[in-house]
Structure 1
Amino acid sequence: MPEPPPRKSSIPPPPPARAAGGAGPAGRRPLGVSVIVPAYNEERGIGAVLADLRRVLDGLELPAELLVVDDGSTDGTAAEARKTQGVRVLEHRANRGYGAALKTGIREARFELIVITDADGTYPCEAIPQLVERWRATECAMAVGARTGGHVQIPWIRRPAKWVIGRMANMVAGEPIPDINSGLRLFRRSVALRLFPLLPDGFSFTTTITLALLTNGFRVEYLPIDYRARVGRSKIRPIRDTLGFMQLILRIALYFAPLKIFLALAGLLLLLAVAWALVSRFALGQLADVSTVVLAEGALQIAIVGLLAELVNRRLPNLYRDED
């Protein structure tokens, strides 16, 4: 039998770049590091974070810039950020979300390598040079600071939800993911722009970009880092955001790996059919009734839908990869 066609990336193709190199949003930027810090009401801690970032970036071999995207803060976040020399401050008139702030920064970034981190002091900025070196050594699509170091201060109330989300993400990606939604990571601007139609405006930006790359065969590297207690009040809503993350992972799975979801559902129905057939035979003393047949037929139909969805997914266009 002929072999099936190779899997194609389901990431959308790039928008056309303008003729002038780097002039348009999709144009390739010079090789350098743009650090993007989304901030919403972080007046208390952003000054110290930016000072540390400025010190780290001054020691990089590559050219670098520091951008703060003030996402409609109602305190003095923007004014505090401008006190740090050499910081570009971009402002949203209203609060649009974590992902929206990152996308604004990515559009306006002057360099090809994007590093994102938070404004609350939780992530160690001294890990940024290591992320750059990991990218240089492996040429990966993304390097993630995984919160698996020796000193990780994640609140206990968030750990069960984080564990559940992690297991779901591992199933979708087909490989272990040490940290699905770390806010410290490095990736190429040109690749991120191709994902913009898929990337949400909320906190699930990092989860989405991770699963989008992994399910399309891109290499993602992980660097163990520490995670500190935040300065100021958290913007995370544990129950609502956890349910939102789980819903998001299911949506991503249906988009990038539909066969896994549909086969899991089909397998569940088939197990129910077998279980009911056994109950009918040995407990009720009768052959399989109509319920068993309905469950088995439902499993078959769901499996067929999954196969069709997978075939459609494989026909979506390849991701255009820029090469140096």
Structure 2
Amino acid sequence: MTKLIIQIPCLNEAETLPATLAALPRSVAGIDVVEYLVIDDGSSDGTAQIALEAGAHHVVTHRRNRGLAAAFRSGIDRALAEGADVIVNTDGDGQYEGADIAALVTPVVDGRADIVIGDRGVSQNAHFSPLKRLIQRIGSGVVQSLAGTHVSDAVSGFRAISRDAAQRINITTEFSYTTDMLIQAGRKRMAIMTVPVRTHAAVRPSRLFKSVPRFILQTGITMARTFTAHKPLRAFVGTGTLIAFIGLLPIVRFLWFYANGEGGGHIQSLVIGGALLVLGTLVAILGMLADLVAANRKLIEENLARTRSLEDSIAALARSTKDAAQKEPVSVIRIKPDRKRTS
């Protein structure tokens, strides 16, 4: 039996959530069970209660607002615990077309993809401003380069994830999971696909970021951090080599003047060049140490994935035992009390 869980991270979405849940599909081709999961990230408008009343099967509640990435992680953990084979993430404001979930799920069900991203057609999307289109194109281009994969809409939150991919992805950022997930998935050689999806006009300003510059800064930090964590040798050795090369330039300048008998007045070039050369060497050595840490991280992630797989097996065994116990007729044995005759 294949189960799909559609998760919706929410923050004060009591007004829009009922319509969003109503637009979600009740059945999807290739899926036996469809369930809805709402993650209430510290809402103050009764989002959790509204979710239950509107038909959500599961609700996860954060006591205070912890951010979109934390809400996404909580949803993935709960969906895996509930036995989801495919997980779809969407928004609570109705931005995405619920009927397009079938298009997201199909490549995962068919075994053609581990992760499927809903492409909003940023360059032609009438709901996006010219500035937002430009930022999205630049950001997606950077993510494609870092992840080594082609994704035209890297920050789209409308995506489907297989159970195996969800177990292997470990979101570490505190801001947004979208770019972090793609860079990890690309570096782990997962199969990533994109499918075109429809969008609706925004009903309110985004709660994810307060300004465009802040969004760009936070996303850039997330991408740099994720890439450095997974490819530290390339990041640090490349940076160290560049610093050392820059340090060689003033040293060569000093040697040129020294060869012409004028080295006494250019000692500062030698000092600056030597300092940069030492700094570049130290950064490169730091990259080698970071690469050893990254190798250890890979081993930890493999052990974590195996632990999750073992937990799945135990949970599946427990569910099958429980189902068998419920189906098996219970025979009642009545023992009559031994009545002793009295004379």
Which letter maps to 2:280? Answer: A
Mapped pair 1:58 → 2:27: yes
Could you say what secondary structure the match of 1:64 adopts?
A: strand
Partner of 2:230: 256
**Higher RCO by CA contacts (8 Å cutoff, separation 6 or greater):** 1
8 Å CA contact 1:253–1:260 kept in 2: the answer is no
| TM superposition shift of 1:106 | 2.5
Q: Distance in 2 between matches of 1:155 and 1:260?
A: 36
Change (3 A) 1:86 1:172: closer
Give 1:182's match in structure 2, choosing from 156, 179, 190. 156
Could you say what secondary structure the match of 1:265 adopts?
A: helix
Mapped pair 1:143 → 2:116: yes
| TM superposition shift of 1:39 | 1.2
Moved more, 107-116 or 291-300: 291-300
Deviations 1:4-45 (A, max 9, x none): xxxxxxxxxxxxxxxxxxxxxxxxxx6310000111112332
Partner of 1:22: none
Q: Distance in 2 between matches of 1:65 and 1:84?
A: 13
Q: Distance in 2 between matches of 1:224 and 1:277?
A: 55
Query: Mapping of 1:97-176 within 5 angstroms?
Result: 97-109=67-79, 110=82, 111-148=84-121, 150-151=124-125, 153-159=127-133, 161-176=135-150
8 Å CA contact 2:180–2:226 kept in 1: the answer is yes
Change (3 A) 1:274 1:230: same
| TM superposition shift of 1:264 | 3.0
Aligned length: 291
| TM superposition shift of 1:281 | 7.3
8 Å CA contact 1:106–1:189 kept in 2: the answer is no
| TM superposition shift of 1:278 | 6.5
Give the TM-score taking structure 2 as reference length.
0.72
Mapped pair 1:74 → 2:47: no
Q: CA RMSD in A?
A: 3.2
Q: Distance in 2 between matches of 1:104 and 1:143?
A: 20
Change (3 A) 1:89 1:304: closer
Deviations 1:90-123 (A, max 9, x none): 4333222222322332233232211100011212
Mapped pair 1:229 → 2:201: yes
Mapped pair 1:310 → 2:291: yes
Which letter maps to 2:201? Answer: A
8 Å CA contact 1:40–1:72 kept in 2: the answer is yes
| TM superposition shift of 1:48 | 1.9
Q: Distance in 2 between matches of 1:138 and 1:108?
A: 23
Partner of 1:23: none
Show structure 2 runs of 5+ residues with no match.
264-268, 314-343
Could you say what secondary structure the match of 2:224 adopts?
A: helix
Mapped pair 1:42 → 2:17: no
8 Å CA contact 1:151–1:226 kept in 2: the answer is no
8 Å CA contact 1:270–1:295 kept in 2: the answer is yes
Which letter maps to 1:81? Answer: A
Could you say what secondary structure the match of 2:153 adopts?
A: coil
Which letter maps to 1:205? Answer: Y
8 Å CA contact 1:144–1:222 kept in 2: the answer is yes
Which letter maps to 1:261? Answer: A
Q: Distance in 2 between matches of 1:190 and 1:174?
A: 20
Structure (1 or 2) with the greater helix fraction: 2
Identity, % of aligned positions: 26
Q: Distance in 1 between matches of 2:48 and 2:218?
A: 29
Moved more, 120-129 or 110-119: 120-129
Mapped pair 1:300 → 2:274: no
Q: Give the greater-gyration-radius structure (CA).
A: 2
Give the TM-score taking structure 1 as reference length.
0.75
Change (3 A) 1:246 1:135: same
Q: Distance in 2 between matches of 1:162 and 1:282?
A: 48
Change (3 A) 1:166 1:93: same
8 Å CA contact 1:145–1:182 kept in 2: the answer is yes
Could you say what secondary structure the match of 2:23 adopts?
A: helix
